[in-house]
Structure 1
Amino acid sequence: MENLPRYRLTLTALALLLAGCAAGGVPQSGPHLSPTECRDLAALRSNAPPTTAQHQSELAALRKAGYNPSPWNDDPNFPEDLHAAQRLVDHWFETECQQFQPG
């Protein structure tokens, strides 16, 4: 019984951690790409010389789409997970960034 307060603290921390993980998996409503990401993705697609900021914007969009580059390069799902995230970003770009598309 003397360990009960410690276990309560551990259980509370685990419950908060699980709630955060569950909330992170809930799809957000509204636009997924910011205006800056739309502009930078459009510039990258125009074959103009890319900037570092544009590449960072593209990586931010890929992360929003669920891609998580492994710092140890041991991702067993690479490149499939990158391609899936790229398809999702392409879909978002087509549906949310009309003002940045040519035509």
Structure 2
Amino acid sequence: MKNFIQSGDAVTVPAPANVSSGDGVQIGSLFGVANADAVSGADVVLSTTGIYTLPKTSAQAWTVGATIHWDAENGVATTSADDGGTPATDFLLIGHAVAAAANPSAMGTVRLSI
């Protein structure tokens, strides 16, 4: 197919800030997990599919199949879609929990499905 570019499982974008390998990164409505460290403005490869352990809102219990959103301000995954502001600033849907996570706990397992 002459217009195919790539599968899209990983994309190269300018880092919106300094990022470390494994960090969740949101740029507008695009979310992925950084494959390597990068300084702000440098190219970074983001994986946009797969299952990852991500930092989560500690005071939440997750069940398998729970819808997971990204709180970019705090750099955590959360079951809450509402950030308390206008709908335009609500948390970005990033996927689903694929393992239970206790309250409290610092990390959760998420299948990206955006």
Which structure's residues are more often helix, by fraction?
1
Specify the TM-score bucket, using the shorter chain as the normaliser: under 0.3
Q: TM-score scaled to structure 2, two decimals? A: 0.23
Structure whose alpha-carbon radius of gyration is higher: 1
Q: TM-score scaled to structure 1, two decimals? A: 0.25
